[in-house]
Chain A
């Protein structure tokens, strides 16, 4: 009854605050769309110069997939290279090819190197003529960066916005004195936290459904598993974000101080959530990963979305996530003791 009243009030406040409502739903959609466009764009076409390249040799090579220009002297190619007209030029001296790269952009460098290796493959194909056959256990050859980042980003945005909005609204409850009024009523401390969890839980379900559905069905993010599991994981994740946000709001005196938690608490989690390979991370840092909720959510989301796994593989992650929520829930009840001892 009292909890229901709290839930209804929180949902009413959400509906009234159209701008925050919009932020929580459209901001993630906007950023995900931009990420999609950035990472799923066409492959880069390298621009290369060929300096004094023997005609018969050119015919042996696979020269598709690059813009080629012929030069008759190195100095002309060098001028164009300096003007960034070409990304590199290939020489053929002493019966061996060599390449000079412009070199300032690593992604261009690797695109050129990749093309060169493919182009010169026919020359090396003397003994090893059989092409290597590749099969995918998970994913496919046309799985892009976005498909791999996607699940992590989905989790991150939900975590980020729920953390911030829940933290700020609880902070306001303290600074406007309504928390004091709540505590001067017979409302129990655990009822306050439960009301918040349910109110935000309902809203987050809606938010997660919209964002996930948009990413999967409109942006075409890879989705091998069941949509229901994605919602389940995001619900568990948002509960941990919510309880953590409310808890940390006890240590902020105003909205600005709440925002100061973002670079300290929220952003670092991205680095440990598997957006970057954890195995290449310095070992004195990598132990932080398992201490962050996003780590488990990202792993579970990837299991479902990329690998198509189900309940038996994600439940340990969900268990950890609910562990975080329970811990923060209890901390919240204890933190409220500061305002009323019973």
Chain B
């Protein structure tokens, strides 16, 4: 882990909505080519943090740097693929039309656009449903299409907010395989989750509770340091609960 390139550097970031403190002085570095997971219960501040990394939200204190640029920065945003918790699709359009639209926003056109659309649809296993209206998609299909759109412009940094919610175990496995494939292309992935067994698959984990980053490390390290058998136990110990 010694000399790895830093992709994201979060420095003393705090965020308050009115009187409510959502993020409390978070400092963190994420390296190139790793799958980094933010683990924590809902309401812990995961979404607020990743939104800041995407450039859609501003910290009240501290700074986020992505690819060496202070966020938000439009040129940097172009290199990020973001998938929010909501599917964010146009239901009255077909999957293909949704993809063509979002691809055009990133300047993809012509043959290259077609190739990319085919490629990402293969990754999420939706090739047969390309011309279906999104309103006829099931919940899981929408989630996968949403992921496919985030992959369209070959981003070097993928930020995925709860990517596998509502997806069955078989598909979840195939999506994680896709993540591993992306990792091989030197892409960095940031995933938020509240599912403990999913957290095990990340290279490194950041545990978040009540807006505080309570622990960072590989799943093995976290378990070893707390001498616990699984991530859930480790989370409880870091969170201050008696095991």
Q: Does A22 contact B (CB under 8 A)?
A: no
Q: Which of A9, A185, A187, A339 contacts B90 (CB 8 A)?
A: A9
B114 / chain A contacts, CB cutoff of 8 Å: none
| B87-A184 in contact (CB<8A) | no
A114 within 8 A of B: no
Distance in angstroms from A121 CB to nearest chain B CB is 66
Question: A1 near B: Cβ within 8 Å?
Answer: yes
Prevailing SS type, chain B contact patch: loop
Is B105 within 8 A of A186, CB to CB? yes
Stretch binding the partner chain, chosen from A10-18, A23-31, A100-108: A10-18
Partner of B102, one of A1, A181, A183: A181
Q: Which residues of B contact A210 (CB under 8 A)?
A: none
A129 at the interface (CB under 8 A from B): no
B106 and chain A: residue at smallest CB distance: A185
Q: Which of B5-13, B72-80, B123-131 contacts A (4 or more CB under 8 A)?
A: B72-80
Instruction: Please tell me if the beta carbons of A12 and B97 are within 8 angstroms of each other in the complex.
Output: yes
Identify which of B17-25, B53-61, B211-219 touches chain A.
Answer: B53-61
Q: Knowing A16-B92, A178-B88, A341-B58 touch, does A184 contact B80 (C-beta < 8 A)? A: yes
Q: How far is the CA of A6 from the CA of B101 in the complex (A)?
A: 7
Other-chain contact of B107, A1, A6, A180 (Cβ < 8 Å)? A1
Whether a CB of chain B sits under 8 angstroms from the CB of A226 is no
**In the bound complex, do residue B86 and residue A177 qualify as a contact, i.e. CB atoms below 8 Å apart?**
yes
When chains A and B are docked, how far (Å) is the Cα of A16 from the Cα of B92? 6
- Contacting residues, chain B, for A180 (C-beta < 8 A): 56, 84, 86, 88
Contact residues of A between 180 and 239, Cβ < 8 Å to B: 180-188
User: Quick one: which of A112-164 are within 8 Å of B by CB?
Assistant: none
Chain B contacts of A17 at CB under 8 A? 92
Q: Is B227 an interface residue (CB 8 A)?
A: no
Tell me the nearest residue of chain B to A183, going by C-beta.
Answer: B56
- Asked if B72 and A340 sit within 8 Å, CB to CB, the answer is yes
**Is the C-beta of A2 less than 8 angstroms from some C-beta in chain B?**
yes
**Shortest distance between the CB of B186 and any CB in chain A (Å):** 21
Contacts of B149 in A (CB 8 A): 181
The residue that A184 contacts in the complex, of B55, B73, B90, B133, with Cβ under 8 A, is: B55
Q: Does B38 contact A (CB under 8 A)?
A: no
Provide the bound-state CA to CA distance between A6 and B105, in Å: 8
Given A12-B93, A180-B56, A186-B74, A5 contacting B88 (CB threshold 8 A): no
The size of the chain A interface, using a CB distance under 8 A, is 27
- Is A342 located at the chain interface by the 8 A CB criterion? yes
Of A5, A339, A340, A341, the contact of B105 (CB 8 Å cutoff): A5
CB distance from A253 to the nearest CB of B (A): 15
Whether B92 and A182, one on each chain, are in contact in the complex, defined by CB atoms closer than 8 angstroms, is no
Say yes or no: is B89 at the interface (Cβ < 8 Å to chain A): yes
Q: Is A94 in the interface zone, CB < 8 Å from B?
A: no
Closest to B133 in A: A16
Q: Which residues of A contact B80 (CB under 8 A)?
A: 184
* Docked complex Cα distance between A341 and B55 (Å): 8
Contacts A177-B84, A181-B84; is A13 near B56 (CB within 8 Å)?
A: no
- Residues of A contacting B109 in the complex (Cβ-Cβ under 8 angstroms): 1
Give chain A residues whose Cβ lies under 8 Å from the Cβ of B93. Answer: 9, 12-13, 16
B72 cross-chain contacts in A, Cβ below 8 A: 340-342
Q: Is A177 in contact with B90, judged by CB distance below 8 angstroms?
A: no
Q: Does A176 contact B (CB under 8 A)?
A: yes
- Which residues on the B side are within 8 Å of A186 (C-beta)? 74-75, 77-78, 105-106
Report which residue of A8, A17, A186, A187 has the largest number of chain B beta carbons within 10 angstroms of its beta carbon: A186
Q: Return the CB mask of B106-127 against A: 1 if under 8 Å, else 0.
A: 1101000000000000000000
B54-A184 in contact (CB<8A): yes
Contacts of B77 in A (CB 8 A): 184-186
Closest A residue, CB atoms, query B104: A5
Task: Tell me the complex Cα distance, A177–B54, Å.
Answer: 14
Q: Which residues of B contact A181 (CB under 8 A)?
A: 82, 84, 88, 102, 149
Contact indicator A187/B56 (Cβ below 8 Å): no
In the bound complex, what is the Cα–Cα distance between A182 and B106 (angstroms)? 10
Contact A184 B106 (CB under 8 A): no
A327 to chain B, nearest CB (A): 26
Q: How far is the CA of A188 from the CA of B90 in the complex (A)?
A: 20
Residue in B86, B102, B106 whose CB lies within 8 Å of A176: B86
What chain B residues lie within 8 Å of A182 (beta carbons)?
A: 105
Pick from B74, B87, B105, B133: contact of A177, CB under 8 Å: B87
Cβ of B80 to closest chain A Cβ, rounded Å: 7
Residues of B within 8 A of A188 (CB): 74
In the A-B complex, the 9 residue pairs with the closest CB atoms: A177-B86, A5-B104, A177-B88, A181-B88, A16-B92, A184-B82, A185-B105, A186-B78, A178-B88
Which positions in A face B, CB cutoff 8 Å? 1-2, 4-6, 8-9, 12-13, 16-17, 176-178, 180-188, 339-342
Q: A180-B88, A184-B55 are in contact. List 19 more A-B contacts (CB 8 A).
A: A1-B104, A2-B104, A5-B104, A5-B105, A8-B101, A16-B133, A176-B87, A176-B88, A176-B89, A177-B84, A177-B88, A181-B82, A181-B102, A184-B54, A184-B80, A184-B82, A185-B77, A185-B78, A342-B55
A-B contacts, 25 of them at CB < 8 A, read A1-B109, A2-B105, A2-B107, A6-B101, A12-B93, A12-B97, A16-B92, A16-B133, A176-B86, A176-B87, A176-B89, A177-B84, A177-B88, A178-B89, A180-B88, A184-B55, A184-B77, A184-B84, A185-B77, A185-B78, A185-B102, A185-B106, A186-B74, A186-B78, A342-B74
